[in-house]
Amino acid sequence: MRRAAGFAIVSGLVLSVALSAEAKTTRDLTYRSDQIWNSAIRFLRVDLKYPILEKDKEAAYLLFEYKEAGHSYAATLELVPASAGSRPIIKATLNIGLMPSYVEEVLLNSFLRKLKSDYGEQPAIAPPQTSPKTDGAGKDKGKGDDSGKAKAALKASEDDEKIVVTGDNPEDSVAQEPAQ
């Protein structure tokens, strides 16, 4: 009986350690890789005063000691290049061993605030560009006989002029007096 209880306790401890070691928190960043790397070093070493144990810019990782309540925990920050559509991004993955994932969330959110204060708003990930769908004859599908030329009307708020854009070239715009 004791043996079964001891086995259950040890199994539970091993399972909980294994599960917590798997916790990783990831964010997609669109800042330039050199901006992210430099801010990560300053954030961990200067702002938080965590010892950086190892760093390798080419391999895109930092090993550091996360300190909380007098204890130290092994931690990694990986900054791996990736892409979102055609735009390059950096996947920032934080892993703090033996700590719950919310600790990683808080630390990564603080790092994002650091990046924003250093470099401004994160550049948006542009949606993938799509080319117009054409039929076999090169005409836009569903557009009728307008040969794919864009037609739009914009109002210039500063001087109440109406700007009419016709054709594919915005330089062909014509300023007109508003109709009364």
CA dihedral (47, 24, 97, 101) in degrees, to 10, reads: 80
Instruction: Look up residue 129 and give its DSSP letter.
Output: P
pLDDT of residue 161: 40
Task: Give me the pLDDT at residue 65, please.
Answer: 96
From the CB of residue 40, how many other CB atoms can be counted at a distance below 10 Å? 20
Q: Report whether 20 contacts 98 (CB < 8 A).
A: yes
Residue 117: per-residue pLDDT: 94
CATH 3.30.530.20 segments of the chain = 19-119
CATH of domain 19-119: 3.30.530.20
Provide the terminal-to-terminal Cα distance of the chain, rounded to the nearest Å. Answer: 95
Bridge partners (DSSP) listed for residue 27: 92
Predicted confidence pLDDT, tens digits, the chain (180 residues): 555 444 444 444 444 444 444 568 999 999 999 999 999 999 999 999 999 999 999 999 999 999 999 999 999 999 999 988 888 999 999 999 899 999 999 999 999 999 999 999 988 876 656 655 555 555 555 444 444 443 333 333 333 444 444 444 444 444 444 444
- List 91's β-bridge partners, or say none: 28, 80
- Give the pLDDT score at 133: 58
96, 104 contact by CB (below 8 A) = yes
- pLDDT (0 to 100) of residue 137: 57
